[in-house]
Chains A and B, each alone.
Chain A
Amino acid sequence: EDQVTQSPEALRLQEGESSSLNCSYTVSGLRGLFWYRQDPGKGPEFLFTLYSAGEEKEKERLKATLTKKESFLHITAPKPEDSATYLCAVQALHSGYALNFGKGTSLLVTP
């Protein structure tokens, strides 16, 4: 069965303090790995899709990387507006097109 595990569950950073969020996954055939950002009371906002090991994508202070077992979301010099829950999801080759999400990492960046 496909599994997605995100760590840590919660992370508190000072403004400017870089860190990484982890997404470990088990899937028999990866179609794609997705990162979303979710603010309280809102729907997830798409950030990145990664398709194969070694792939990297960047957007402003965020950089996502992918290996065969895990993905990292690196946050460089975060700002308070980066505070949100970051969700990782996998789409498996054998199970249609549904996204299988982890529980997310709740990030708080303090001034």
Chain B
Amino acid sequence: DTGVSQNPRHKITKRGQNVTFRCDPISEHNRLYWYRQTLGQGPEFLTYFQNEAQLEKSRLLSDRFSAERPKGSFSTLEIQRTEQGDSAMYLCASSLVVSGSKETQYFGPGTRLLVL
């Protein structure tokens, strides 16, 4: 069990550029979550997938954000036309849910984005 991995770990971009982050969940975990965390705040939910289906998106998720999990394994989060307010740590979490069982979300190390 290698844990949740995220790439890149750091990204610096200029305002208006597009960026894409990747998350590899723990093997065989069927749920994958994206959160965003800014300094001094707790993580804030963005969206989640059950296998390849995107089941929920936060109302806070701008149209500039899109996420995919094409084969129910890794996921990508793309931000188009980045703004300075997008600067944050983007966290991925995964969990294994079996019908009726309880769920624990395990987080990756995060991708820190800085928009100049």
A-side residues, CB < 8 A to B, are: 4, 32, 34, 36, 41-46, 49, 51, 87, 89, 91, 96-104
Contacts and interface: CB of A to CB of B under 8 A. Distances in A.
B111 to A, nearest CB: 10
Contact of B42 (A91, A97, A101): A101
A32 B102 contact: yes
Interface of B: 4, 31, 33, 35, 40-45, 48, 55-56, 58, 91, 93, 97, 102-110, 112
Contacts of A101: 42-44
Greatest chain B CB density within 10 A among A32, A36, A43, A98 is at: A43
Contact of A102 (B33, B42, B48): B42
Nearest to A98: B45
A97 B31 contact: yes
